[in-house]
Structures are given as structure tokens and as C-alpha cells.
Amino acid sequence: MRVSVVIPAFDAERTVGAAISSALWQTYRDLEVVVVDDGSRDSTAMLAAGFPEPVRVVRRENGGVAAARNQGIAEARGELIAFCDADDVLLPLHLEALVEVYDRAGGIATSNCYWLFDAGIHPSRVRYKSGFPRPERQRLAILEQNFVSTMSLFPKTLWEELGGFDEELALAEDWDFWLRAILAGRRVALQPRPLALYSWRGDSLAADPARMDEHVRTLLGKALARNDLVPEERQYLKRRLAGPGPAELGRQGDAALRAGRYREAAASYRAAADLCPTEPALRRKALVLRPAPWLTGPLVRARQLRIERAVGFGEGHAR
């Protein structure tokens, strides 16, 4: 068996069946599915246990997603680990395409995907549109933002080498893991086709912006304490931790844009893009609004509101 698909699940009775089914629908067949029931209080474990092999269910007391990921990987029998969260869906070619990229490039293979919002998907809302960081740029890029999707494939030996996911982080535990992997010398290759649906709902953990910002500051503070950073990386982290991060600045820009405060939106987007030049959406908004925000702002606002209405995306979603 080569690939273990690890599905951490907590109170996920509404979605876990679809997640497991999508793993079983894969055209790539050399796999197992390890569902980690993280102390669910609903029917998650019972639903997962109803699936036949190659599905296995591991039960544990609730300890958070990092602990669930760690236990799932520890129990995995495959050489390679792939993640599918309990509210995500893998399209049939997902694993086949990821394995092809991994076999060609090694390191970590990450997959493009559609964002799955409350109202569905939109063809313009994919995880990666352009500008994936080049290998020589990835050390600094992973400090700017988490450019690696959880829809990734990597060897179990990498998890063993890094000591697993940080169980002190309730959020952004995957960013911390990829950061440590990249600083340890691994590089990430992109599978560019959107072959999965990544759930981004208003009631998800990631939809608590202040809490997410807090955990991001914690993981970046840990990174700053490392002794293997080059001066450019250390200088960037100090600047980044001295004020609001690009996600917070981007949300401020979005709020100002929705309210028609175009100069304020332009300033927020410029500051965000300066801290996170690897994020194409921030760069585009900063560029379009910069010369004449009162002229281009209404056009940007109309387009953004149109898409947000189509997918049910609102202020409750964290950027």
C-alpha cells in the first residue's frame, strides 16, 4: 500500500460520508483511508465505521486537529500521506495527479482546488490562480503566507523527521508544519488542476479571524526563534510581527471596499501586498486601485460583491 488518506473528523456527521466516499472514488487505487474520530459527540464514528475496507476508523479523545492528524499518520500504513478534511471532497483524479507530481518532483506535492463555500463553488475561486513560488523563493514565501494547501501529498518519513504537527496550535497547524518542512530543505511542487473541493464555511474554525491571527503570530514567533534563518528572513519576520498581518490588512481593505471607502481600501491592500507579495489577489487589488481609487474602486467593488453573493461569501469568512 502506497498512499494513506488521513481524514481527521470532529462532529462531522453532515459531511464525513461524502469525504470518505470521495477518497474511495479515486482512480488511484493503491490506498487506504484512515478516519480519525477526534472525540465526536455525534454520529461521525458510526457513519465512518459503516464503510468497508480500505477504510479504517481510529477513535481518540478530543485533542484538536493537530493531534488527530498526528494519530492518523502514526496509524497509517502507507509510504505517502494525503489529507482530506472531513468537510472536503476529492474529485476522482485528485490522488492520481498528485502522485504523478510527487514522483516527478519529490518533496511535497500540493494540489489546486475549488473553494467550496456555503452556496457552492465559483469558477473564479480556486486556491491557486498564478504565481506559485519558485523553489528558490519558497523559504521566504512560507513566512509570508501558507501557500501550501492541506490537499497535499508527502512521505511519512517527513512527518517522522519533523516530529509531527504542533498540538499546541488549534489553528494554522498545517502552516507551521509546512514552514518547518521548507526550512528543513523540502520544496513544494504544484499540481495545477483544481481536482478537489476545499470547504470554507462561515462556521468553520478558519472563519474566526482574530483567533486565526493569534495562532499565526504564535507560529511566526516560533519561526523567529530559529537559529537557521538568513538575515532577510529574520528581518521580514520582525517587520511582519511589528503590526497587522496581510490577512488582517486584506480584511480591512475588503470592509472598506464594501463600504465604498476606496482610498482606505487602496491603502490597506497596498500594505497587505507589501507584506505578502506572493498573494496574487492582494497584488491585483493594490495595483488596480493605486492610481485612481475613486475611479476603479466601484468596478472592483461591484465585481467582488457579485462573486460574494454568488457563493454566499461574507464578512464572516476569514481571508
Q: What is the pTM of this model?
A: 0.92
Q: Distances in Å between the alpha carbon of 231 and those of 63, 235, 236?
A: 37, 6, 8
Give the CATH number of domain 3-205; options: 3.30.1050.10, 2.40.50.140, 3.40.50.2000, 3.90.550.10: 3.90.550.10
The backbone torsions φ and ψ at residue 86, rounded to the nearest 5 degrees and listed phi first, read -70, -10
Q: What pLDDT score was predicted for residue 202?
A: 55
Q: What pLDDT score was predicted for residue 318?
A: 40
In degrees, rounded to 5, the angle at the alpha carbon of residue 188 between the alpha carbons of residues 135 and 161 is 115
Mean pLDDT of 193-222: 83
211 secondary structure, DSSP code: H
Axis crossing angle, helix 246-258 with helix 262-275, rounded to the nearest 10? 160
pLDDT tens digits, 47-94: 999 999 999 999 999 999 999 999 999 999 999 999 999 999 999 999
Kindly state the cell numbers that stand for 88: 472536503
126 secondary structure, DSSP code: B
* CATH 3.90.550.10 intervals, the chain: 3-205
pLDDT tens digits, 98-145: 999 999 999 999 999 998 887 788 787 889 988 899 999 999 999 999
For the chain, percent of residues with pLDDT exceeding 90: 82
Mean pLDDT of 225-229: 97
Sign of the CA dihedral running 93, 162, 182, 103: negative
Residue 203: pLDDT band with limits 50, 70, 90: low
- Cα–Cα dist 192/281, whole Å: 17
Kindly state the cell numbers that stand for 265: 481600501
Q: What pLDDT score was predicted for residue 230?
A: 97
Kindly state the cell numbers that stand for 225: 526563534
For the chain, percent of residues with pLDDT exceeding 70: 95
